[in-house]
Structure 1
């Protein structure tokens, strides 16, 4: 298989794989920054740690330079918000989106399923991306309003109590 064919098949494979959705937010010198991520994963329970990867964008660079950030796990009611933070030029951190500021200064989504405040432990450059492994310092649990997953370039919602069988 050629490198191009492997790359194309790799993209297709992960487009077919549904993942949870989060908005990673931080306070940069110029104000709040954030981006939508579908790469968040639990790494360790003791100590609590998670990972995510980001491409080399302005928002990602600001998050990587911040001393701390919040991984806001999204629920069914956040599909539009996830789409806004996934696209350049869309509204971000508006009052009607439900943003607040944590006591430690990071932007936090008050209605998130959970908000995990962390600090970077390891930054691992891989190609055009950076994998972040972070220690979780605080976990705030919000309402569980169903599921939001990302699959095949689409945000899909499942209300609480609905199960595929």
Structure 2
């Protein structure tokens, strides 16, 4: 582990790795993963309609960017089977989950399964996008920008329509679902520290 107060060189020291993009030495993939394992992320499932039907994936990279205009961003790993469809879609649905949606979060994160096998679990919006029933909240978005970044695609999307089934009053902890250090966690009154 590298200390921020007294850096210690290691066999993965940034100075020993080649420079990329002319930006200077970079962290190794393992060092970068270690950084973000300790940084919790909210959990979302993103759906889109493709030529072969609906697709879904779980993401922990969804973040609001602007309230006016209402924009959000997220990234898609090239390793997901749903990435190509989501990345090329004109519109998508971002489902913002809480602990009551843990099964959906796990479904979207599981490889090799039909995420739409249960017809009672989802429906289509009037505009055609697949949407899961009963989630805490969802937002239908128009994709406005795509950017390739390493092994991922970063998507910027404009919020068009939303539904909140379980609202959280301002200042209340709710039942947030977060992904931290390779496991699912629940935030609530018990986890409030200030």
Q: Same fold (TM over 0.5)?
A: yes
Tell me how large the CA RMSD over aligned residues is.
1.9
The reply to whether residue 136 of structure 1 matches residue 162 of structure 2 is no
The reply to whether residue 53 of structure 1 matches residue 70 of structure 2 is no
- 3-state secondary structure, aligned to 1:42: strand
Structure number with higher relative contact order (C-alpha < 8 Å, ≥ 6 residues apart): 1
Equivalents in 1 of 2:61, 2:183: separation in Å?
15
Higher helix share: 1
The one of 91, 105, 128 equivalent to 1:68 is 91
The one of 134, 139, 148 equivalent to 1:125 is 148
Q: Which has the larger radius of gyration?
A: 2
Equivalents in 2 of 1:132, 1:118: separation in Å?
11
Q: Is the 8 A contact 1:15 1:152 kept in 2?
A: yes
Higher strand share: 1
Report the TM-score, using the length of structure 2 for normalisation: 0.77
Report the TM-score, using the length of structure 1 for normalisation: 0.90
**Over 6 Å off, 4+ runs:** none
1:164 Cα deviation (Å)? 3.0
The reply to whether residue 164 of structure 1 matches residue 166 of structure 2 is no
Equivalents in 2 of 1:7, 1:61: separation in Å?
23
1:36-93 alpha-carbon deviations (Å, 9 max, x no partner): 0000000111110000000113311001111211000011112222112112123412
Equivalents in 2 of 1:10, 1:133: separation in Å?
23
Structure 2: runs of 5 or more not aligned = 1-12, 18-25, 168-173
> 1:106 maps to what in 2?
129
